[in-house]
Amino acid sequence: MPEPLATLPRRPVVLGSSSRYRRELLSRLRLPFEVAVPDVDESPRAGETPRDLALRLALAKARAVASQHPGAAVIGSDQVADLDGEPLGKPGDHERAVAQLRRMRGRAVVFQTAVAVVCAETGFEQLDLAPVRVVFRDLGDGEIESYLRAEQPYDCAGSARSEGLGIALLQAIESDDPTALVGLPLIRTCRMLRAAGVPIL
């Protein structure tokens, strides 16, 4: 007779990311997990689309950490802001954030959010994309300046935190995985973890 699921040993989970936002999101699932920072070059390749860049980096991060934790289900994720096919990275400072928000005002930006789960021990690999279409309001320079001074989202792709004051910059968000915009699509992550042998509930 098979053992009840609850008594089977749980496969370890490792989040391959340096992002505090992804760490906070994954903690919502109430799973024990470790964090490991992947050593991956995140530079775009010549001609690479934002979508392909996000998918490639999510899988590369998961594979890099899985090689160090072969028995674990390793989560890798990446997000690239896509403005008409051009990737927008994290601004890093105030001036670049101002320039990004000025370019995006009144326009739609697709946040290409990719997630991968890899287990080296079993050969399991899954990869998926959760694109989020975000429409920015036609922001005035004063609004942009006030927002950036208040929240300083210089480590966020697209220079805005939708989970905070940044929601006031937006006209609409279209997504089928509501945490994808913050950086980790949890619906897809749950599906992949279950497939990798990690029970969520």
- Answer whether 159's CB lies under 8 Å from 95's CB: no
Q: What percent of the chain has pLDDT over 90?
A: 90
Q: What digits encode the pLDDT tens for the residues 110-140? A: 999 999 999 999 999 999 999 999 999 999 9
Model pTM? 0.90
Task: Give pLDDT, residue 70.
Answer: 97
Task: Give pLDDT, residue 8.
Answer: 53
Active-site residue 93, yes or no?
no
State the Cα–Cα distance between residues 111 and 173, nearest whole angstrom.
Answer: 10
- Answer whether 181's CB lies under 8 Å from 170's CB: no
39, 52, 78, 128: the catalytic one is: 78
CATH 3.40.50.2000 fits 5-195, yes or no: no
What is the pLDDT averaged over residues 171-175?
Answer: 97
Indicate if the pLDDT at residue 1 is higher than 70. Answer: no
